[in-house]
A and B are shown apart, each in its own frame.
Chain A
Amino acid sequence: MNKIKFIAIKEFRHIMRDSRSLIIVILMPIMMTFLYGYAINLDVKNIKLAIVDFDNSSESRDLTGRFYNSGYFVKSEKLPDMESPEKVLVAGKANAVLFIKPGLAEAIANFSDYELGITVDGSDANLAAAASSYAKMILAEFLSSKFSSGQTESGVILRSKILYNEDLQSSHFFVPGLIAVILMMISALLASVTIAREKETGTMEQLLTSPVTPRQIILGKVIPYVILASLDGLLILLFALIIFGVPFSGSSLLLMMFGLIYLTTALSFGILISTLVKTQQLAMMFSLLATVLPTVMLSGYIFEIKNMPVVMQWLTQLIPARYFIMIIRGIMLKGSGLAELWTESIFLIALTIGLLTLAVKRFQLKIG
């Protein structure tokens, strides 16, 4: 126990001595938070919408007006041809087509069932998702303006061809995911570099001729980075809450617990990388490549997993961030608890145990 403590203290001394990398560790998350929070704004505006109005009533004209005045939709350059409205989508003249079948006005008056159809160009998944949720929102506003509160709900529903991404604000969506990306990147990077450095300078050999076990080395070296990465996570979280106003509706204790599990995964991954490389530079490149790309691309952080080819969807199951992002979004945005998140939790814990075992085994074999 004492040995682990002293390895950890020594590691802290390295960190404090190397002020440049300390600054990187603190500044990078802040910069990335701003970058993802502001610059990469995926809120979609100016969606080109063609409306095919077969009802042609005051109600349908009101609805049309609401769409075009919402700020999200603009009129398409070309009106669709009545027989085959999809053509405008194919030609790229519009991003979405809204069909108002005859009978909207009657449906509102009689509370009868009625279906509005929206077809969205799915080639831009993000835009498509946004378009259908905006349309829903606008329709809901339209309907609530027609019925005073307390009245029975109308039978008017919107049928859209693509339906997901309920959360509209992209910063709400991105910042929790960002915590997953940054924690993975920083932890894997730091852990792999710190071990590679000891290999490179020969101090690892010196350590191994002394009576410390590889396990003690791993633990001692990793503890300071758990603390550092947790601070990073908290920092981004504070940014998310204060600057981007991301809601936090779930349990912070639960989030912390999963945060630690996720950190363990990331650090194990870093240790694993350190057993594959000999120099700090390689460790750095390897861990950036092996964490950032898969974590950003395959975790559902930016791209919807549902839209990926099946093979890629299988691959995403091996990405720890996939589960952590679902957990953190669930906890922060929806206030989910263990009851809702148990599948993700099991997958994440299984991955963590697997990676940790593999990392420790390989470390003992290669370095011990």
Chain B
Amino acid sequence: MNTKPILTILGSLAATAVLAIDLPPVGSAAPDFSLPDAKGKPHSLSEYKGKYVVLEWFNPECPFVKKHYGGGNMQKLQEQYTSKGVVWLTIDSNAPGTEGNLSPEQAEKVANAWKTKQTALLLDPEGKAGRAYGAKNTPNMVIINPEGKIVYEGAIDSKATPNPGDIPSSTNYVKVALDESLSGKPISNPTTKPYGCSVKYK
């Protein structure tokens, strides 16, 4: 078979086809949820549409969570960004009977004792919101943009240890992502591997 014309055509077409399309990070829509805070007031994600929302999975018994609350690192972040109009929702998805699960009273106590600064500490004992986001760790961080798309998912920072001494020398991914988002830049590191305790689901 004379393949010369085929090869010529294929070759010339293939030669012009040097394409390099960089795929943008795909942001899927953030699943909606409605969870009560310690006072029983429901908070749903949809009511915060139009704002940046940070989701933080929480377990006060977990050494990795204590790492960031013990020295006030997490409270500082919460204060800094809620003052810039970011909504910060801390979620406890641990099932009743597991360590880290909080009754409304306990939740209020922890929030007061730790002087937390989030918009709301939400109780998810059924693990509905946790499972919807596939949250596997505490802390596990998610950032949602004003259009309701997930723009960051992963760890709080770059050093996967329970040692608070590592905080100053680590990169806080959530801070970087929020600063980039708020100044209209694309997020340089949209996915990282979260570290910490596992969420104790039902």
Specify whether A and B are partners. Answer: no
- Which residues of A are at the interface with B, using a C-beta cutoff of 8 A? none
- Which residues of B are at the interface with A, using a C-beta cutoff of 8 A? none
